[in-house]
Amino acid sequence: MTAETIDGKAFAATLRGKVGDQARAFEAAAGRQAGLAVVLVGEDPASQIYVRSKGKATLEAGMASFEHKLAADTPEAELLALVDALNADPAVDGILVQLPLPPHMNEAKVIATIDPDKDVDGFTVVNAGRLATGLHGFVPCTPLGCLMLLKDRLGDLAGLDAVVIGRSNIVGKPMAQLLLKESCTVTVAHSRTRDLADVVRRADIVVAAVGRPAMVTGDWLKPGATVIDVGINRVPGAEPGKTKLVGDVDFPSASTVAGAITPVPGGVGPMTIACLLRNTLVAAQRRAGVRGTEI
């Protein structure tokens, strides 16, 4: 048995195309482009790459991109003032503050300052509460992308057993809430879960988001399970001094047991930016009172 590889890159390209079509329709109806503001504090290399890719994708989707780059030693009060200004800016529909922030800044305080209706990352307590209670809000982009891939592969998820490995506010907890909303039976597992392999082995759906390279092996999986690997880990490559990206799932062994599995790279990663664009478009439509097709 060889698992089907779930092509997140192809799915994300299709999603970005749909967002682009609706972004053009929004511009025609509203007389302006939907706008995403991204704030980067400091010069973290990975964050710089993410911000560049997000800006490029925003423009390609026919939306306005507003980038704000602040020095690493910028006072927290200055960042908070910038967020307040973006909250009040009618051209800005979505606000994303790139994490991590420098140590002297309180990430929770900064995120709490973002207008929940412009919080396209879905990180504010208000949007977390909306998700938990079934209200309309913004869902963090990575778990939203995972859910889209699962529904595309499996259709109706009702009644399936799902295990989410990881309990972060960014992926694990919202992923569990999304699966509950789809009427799955959900277990949230983590580093202190007893007999973790046995817990995972009974799942029809496994979402691995724990940040440990190749932790989930094939013998942990129920035959035919659908596996979504959120992990992005750099490990030594075959050549000295080189590194490679691997997930939280050991792909070679897992792919001999699973029914379908996302690769790393090329699985969940491309979906995150595509869902960010989708959330920005939805924010713009809601703010302008423009109806769009559900994406």
Element (H, E) at 177: helix 172-181
Grouping H, G, I as helix, E, B as strand and the rest as coil, residue 199 is helix
Q: Is 19 exposed, middle or buried (0-12, 13-18, 19+ CB in 10 A)?
A: buried
Residue 281 corresponds to which amino acid? L
DSSP letter assigned to residue 233: E
Active-site residues, by number, are 54, 98, 121
Q: How far apart are the first and last CA of the chain?
A: 33
Q: How far apart are CA 133 and CA 39, in angstroms?
A: 29
Q: Which residues of 205-228 are buried (b: 16+ CB within 10 A; e: fewer)?
A: bbbbbbbebbbbebebbbeebbbb
